Chain A
Amino acid sequence: MRTTTWKDRLFSTFNYTLLSLLGFATLYPFVNLMAISLNDALDSLRGGIYFWPRKFTLLNYEIIFEQDSLLRAAIMSVVRTAVGTVLGVAVTIMIAFALSRREFLLRKPLNVILVFTLFVNAGLLPAYLLNVNLNLMNSFAVYILPMLVSAYNVIIVRSYFEQLPEGLTESAKIDGATDFQVLLRIVAPVSLPVLATVTLFVAVVHWNSWYDNYLYTSGTPSLNLLQFELMKILINTVNEVANSSGSSSNSNALNTNPDAIRAAMTIIVTLPILFVYPFLQKYFVKGIMVASMKE
């Protein structure tokens, strides 16, 4: 179609090389963790594990997977992530849409209120007491409500909505569409890339959360999340190492250590997220097509 100049070729070579190097550098911690998680823990203690295990073992994973509560916790994590993401994204889109409309009378005050939530903070104690007084202790709702709206995400979505051509919504309004219809049928479909991004952001926060589990719902085992169960295994290992190394006996009761468990844990919780992203990537392309069709 067009001739590629030497400049273009030079740029491409440079670009691919640079990105490959960056890819290598950022992949390394994961490869290293993978190797450590698959290596005998006592052997790892001696250092020198870089790309692949030296004394291969699945024991670190076995220790994690022999917890019978793990499957139930994984299901709870998926449920929490799903519910939290659906509700969170829905609320984010709605408020972002309302705030992106120039004619909305409450736009200014709500914007100020929204932006300030990014910066005001009173620490843990008052937040804890609020949740206690709202009777959220040991309830599923404590996973969802406190982090329902992230101003950061709202601002990203709002600004994307604001950049859409005015005509897009105007014409629909003239055709008699309600605001909800405009949002669902016109604005949301052309904003898929940014919505996919925000979905990822919300989902990751929910998936990685364990601190609210620890603080508010640790009295109800059925609400325990995968991350919290894994944290407990890690902490047990810390305890056990402390307990078992008191005397210089040859006891081989403990075959793992916190580093190995942490490595295996990281792999276990990161893999699902890595699989989610490529799935979302397809919306990045779709977004363009819809946008170009609409223009």
Chain B
Amino acid sequence: MAETVLGRETVPVKRRGKFFGKLAKQWQLALMSVPFVLIGMLFSYGPLWGWIMAFQDYSIAKGVTGSPFVGFDNFARIFEDDQFFRVLRNTLAMSLMNMATGFVGAIVLALLLNEVRKTLFKRAIQTITYIPHFVSWVVIANIFSFLLSPDGGIVNVVLMKLNLISEPIYFQGKPEWFWYIQTLANLWKEIGWSTIIYLAVLVGLNPEHYEAAEVDGASRFQKMWHISVPGLMPTAILLLTMSIGWLINSGFESQFVLGNDVVVEYSDVIDLYALRYSIQLSDYAYGMAINMFKTVVSIVLVLGVTFLAKKTNQSRLF
């Protein structure tokens, strides 16, 4: 994509004049882009000089200008650490699970809400479901511990009463269950919030389509399947593409508060790893190397998905 820019730059003088002549006619659109170009770019790309640190034995006292260069040593350290592949696996696994459940969950909820005829009920549920988005992860983790505790937690009490188990299960002490617990908690916390955008798209769909379908005697499911779902798809694909780019950015808060040392082999993620080995140790160079690695992975993923989306003629990110 960047070649496009370069291509424009290197065209012969005559054509360049033509280009600017055309652009001059679009001065209003250009003007609309100015705030983004000036301010958005400054704050997004301005700090990228910091990437230099990733190639240095950086110390704050010496700064970028005074710190010695060490080539790719910091990157080598990342891949030499056997912990790293474990945290990479956990990050991608949980991100994928969160993405899949969040994606399906939000669309289903939006469709179900869209079918509700009672406005008050619809609005109430809509508002209520997005509350957990504003509740901090610590609080959510407290509630989950309370539910899952083997020492009087509700889930265990119910399972015991139903005679399904003879002894309380230590849910939070089962490493291989952690991904599912985290996914469930994340779905619960974010489902309402991620639905908002889909609801906005649904109400924007042309009502004539529904009316026409009704005249044709379409059932509710048919209308949902043939009008609502296709209407949501462009936005859904777009959001999905962005989430794929963010697969490597799982965040760390939920894993930090829900996890513990029993399950750490399944709960540790890249951002927690960076927190321990970079931020806590003031090793900014190492953190920067991890950052660059994440950026590269993101961009490769998103370009790959965009390429596929182009082939299938779906909505594009670029």
Contact partner of B32 (CB less than 8 A), chosen from A98, A117, A127, A292, is A98
Min Cβ gap B183→A in Å is: 15
Given contacts A25-B188, A126-B49, A277-B130, contact A119 B245 (CB under 8 A): yes
B50 and A26 contact, CB distance less than 8 A: no
Complex contacts, A20 vs chain B, CB 8 Å: 125
A264 interface hit (Cβ, 8 Å): no
Given contacts A97-B32, A119-B298, contact A196 B204 (CB under 8 A): no
- In chain B, what residue has the closest Cβ to A24? B128
Min Cβ gap A165→B in Å is: 9
- In chain A, what residue has the closest Cβ to B237? A159
A262 interface hit (Cβ, 8 Å): yes
B166 interface hit (Cβ, 8 Å): no
Q: Which residues 10-40 of A have a CB within 8 angstroms of B?
A: 11-12, 15-16, 18-20, 22-23, 25-30, 32-33
Among listed A66-74, A146-154, A246-254, interface-contacting one:
A146-154
A114 and B288 contact, CB distance less than 8 A: no
A149 and B200 contact, CB distance less than 8 A: no
Complex contacts, A29 vs chain B, CB 8 Å: 131-132, 135, 139-140, 143
Complex Cα gap A2–B94 (Å): 46
B158 interface hit (Cβ, 8 Å): no
Q: Write out, one digit per residue, whether chain A residues 130-169 have a CB within 8 A of any chain B CB (1) or not (0).
A: 1000000000000001111101101110011011000000
Complex Cα gap A277–B196 (Å): 10
What does DSSP make chain B's interface, helix, strand, loop or mixed?
helix
A266 and B134 contact, CB distance less than 8 A: yes
B4 and A109 contact, CB distance less than 8 A: yes
Min Cβ gap B254→A in Å is: 14
A22 and B201 contact, CB distance less than 8 A: no
B176 interface hit (Cβ, 8 Å): no
Complex Cα gap A193–B205 (Å): 10
Among listed A55-63, A78-86, A217-225, A281-289, interface-contacting one:
A281-289
Contact partner of B29 (CB less than 8 A), chosen from A8, A104, A129, A156, is A104
A119 and B129 contact, CB distance less than 8 A: no
Q: Which residues 198-239 of B have a CB within 8 angstroms of A?
A: 199-201, 203-204, 206-208, 214, 219-221, 234-235, 238-239
Contact partner of B245 (CB less than 8 A), chosen from A110, A118, A125, A285, is A118
B143 and A288 contact, CB distance less than 8 A: no
Complex contacts, B36 vs chain A, CB 8 Å: 91, 94-95, 110, 114, 149, 154
Complex contacts, B298 vs chain A, CB 8 Å: 118-119
Among A26, A155, A284, the most chain B Cβ lie within 10 Å of the Cβ of A26
- In chain B, what residue has the closest Cβ to A30? B131
Complex contacts, B317 vs chain A, CB 8 Å: 115, 155
Given contacts A108-B1, A149-B36, A291-B206, contact A130 B43 (CB under 8 A): yes
Task: Pick the 5 closest A-B CB pairs, nearest first.
Answer: A126-B50, A126-B47, A149-B40, A94-B32, A122-B50
In the assembled complex, 28 residue pairs joining A and B whose CB atoms fall closer than 8 Å, in A order, are: A7-B219, A22-B129, A23-B124, A27-B128, A30-B135, A32-B143, A95-B36, A106-B30, A109-B4, A110-B33, A112-B4, A112-B5, A115-B302, A117-B45, A119-B299, A122-B48, A122-B291, A126-B50, A130-B46, A151-B40, A155-B317, A180-B32, A270-B135, A277-B127, A277-B130, A287-B200, A291-B204, A295-B208
